Amino acid sequence: MAPAERDKAFIALLLFGFLALFFSPSIGLLSGPDPVELLRNAPGVAPSRWRENFSAYFISICLEAGPFMLLGAVTAALIEVFAPANLLPRLARRLGVLGIPAAALAAPLLPVCECGVVPVFRKLINKGLPLPHAIAYLLAAPIFNPIVLTGTWIAYYRDPLYPFLRGLGGLSVALAVALLIAMLLGLRSRFKARADGAHALEHGHDDGACCAHGHEHAPSPGRLQQLLRHAQEDFQEMAPYFLFGAFLAACLKTFVDQTVLFDLGDGDAAGAAAMMALAFVLSLCSEADAFVSASFVEFNVAAHMGFLVLGPMLDIKLLVMYRSVFSGRFILLLASAVIAGVSAYVWALNLWGWEWVDALLGQAG
């Protein structure tokens, strides 16, 4: 069984088992306490409301993110159908390392939130865009997005400081992580080239040799038919990962008392860590998360940036959706780099302050 099919089968079995446990009180252990009773008495959960809370959270996440996920699938299909096959690799070769910031700055041309960015990322990779360039787009697009930044501006009472710092943080972290990936890939390819060169000298192998084969192709369908087919395939490919991520997020929101995070968030560093953890757990869409973040008035600006920058790059549903394109080891590397990058950005804001930015923006306005 292919890894993707194995993942889907595993997700389906887990969902079936968890749903049977949650919604069938008659299903219990042969001996010992009923697991449903244990869940019902979990801290922070009303005795008779946990099913309603879980259902509300799960449905709200799906309704919030579903349309944007479909938009991402359609955007990916547009890239597949209309973008020339060699366009992206040619641009990447011409720009070199400058193509990484170019990919991040081009994110507003494909304005998708994190709910729909993964299908677009997959299509960019399939079209030949190098991995560091695609990573820069993957992390920057859900933040450096005119809809997201406008929503942030409105949520924070039209204060330009918050969308400015959010956009700056999103671009900075995306570029830092992408450049780190490029450096690691460069080191890996250098060692691989040495090993391949030694192998070629020993065995007389010519890596440049290739064979041309003639193939007869069936007539391709029309552009609209291709677009709909690719959008359907991308949506169906991502749906199981998304549903499982939404399920995990709903579980944590239902059975974990989120006020514990605020009790631990006393101080600049602890407050930022609490807000980052909350962004990971809540798994909000980047086009609406600013309205939730703005309600946490007890935290400073830097802590709010931890919430607004980390959430669109790394949350529960994204962590599961990344599984459709990355290996587990690479997901661990990517998650660690994102957390380190966001933490460094928040630390810099606390160290250098943001009042001068606010004053500068106030003068400009």
The predicted-structure confidence for 174-202, as pLDDT tens digits, reads as follows 999 999 999 999 877 776 655 555 444 44
pLDDT for residue 189: 74
Lowest-pLDDT range of 39-43, 109-113, 117-121: 39-43
pLDDT for residue 77: 82
pLDDT for residue 353: 74
- pLDDT tens digits for range 233-259: 877 877 777 787 778 778 877 776 766
- pLDDT tens digits for range 66-94: 787 788 788 888 887 887 777 778 888 88
Interatomic CA distance for residues 153 and 320, integer angstroms: 30
- The better pLDDT of the pair 286, 84 is held by 286
Interatomic CA distance for residues 160 and 357, integer angstroms: 10
Q: Given 3-state DSSP classes, what are the helix, strand and coil percentages for the chain, each rounded to the nearest 5?
A: 75, 0, 25
Using pLDDT thresholds of 50, 70 and 90, give the confidence band for residue 224: confident
Using pLDDT thresholds of 50, 70 and 90, give the confidence band for residue 211: very low
Residue 286, pLDDT above cutoff 60? yes
pLDDT for residue 70: 82
Whether 349 and 305 have beta carbons less than 8 Å apart is answered as yes
pLDDT for residue 271: 86
Using pLDDT thresholds of 50, 70 and 90, give the confidence band for residue 48: low
Reported pTM: 0.76
- pLDDT tens digits for range 288-330: 889 888 888 878 899 999 999 999 999 988 998 898 899 999 9
Q: What is the mean pLDDT of the chain?
A: 79
Query: What are 45's two structure tokens?
Result: 């959960």
Query: What are 191's two structure tokens?
Result: 């060692």
Other Cβ atoms closer than 10 A to 205: 10
Lowest-pLDDT range of 76-80, 119-123, 204-208, 352-356: 204-208
DSSP-derived secondary structure for 201-263: HHHT--TT-------PPPPPPPHHHHHHHHHHHHHHHHHHHHHHHHHHHHHHHHHS-THHHHH
The average pLDDT across 12-35 equals 58
pLDDT for residue 205: 41
pLDDT for residue 2: 60
- The better pLDDT of the pair 47, 305 is held by 305
Interatomic CA distance for residues 321 and 209, integer angstroms: 38
The average pLDDT across 193-216 equals 45
The average pLDDT across 197-218 equals 44
The average pLDDT across 160-185 equals 95
The average pLDDT across 22-48 equals 49
Interatomic CA distance for residues 128 and 87, integer angstroms: 8
pLDDT for residue 348: 93
The average pLDDT across 31-46 equals 48
Residue 210, pLDDT above cutoff 60? no
pLDDT for residue 36: 47
The average pLDDT across 200-213 equals 43
First to last CA, the chain: 59
Which of 253-262's residues contact partners 24+ apart within 8 Å by CB, and which partners? 253/53, 253/57, 253/281, 253/282, 254/45, 254/50, 254/53, 254/54, 254/57, 255/39, 255/42, 255/44, 255/45, 255/50, 256/44, 256/281, 257/43, 257/44, 258/44, 259/44, 262/296, 262/298
- The better pLDDT of the pair 33, 291 is held by 291
Using pLDDT thresholds of 50, 70 and 90, give the confidence band for residue 227: confident
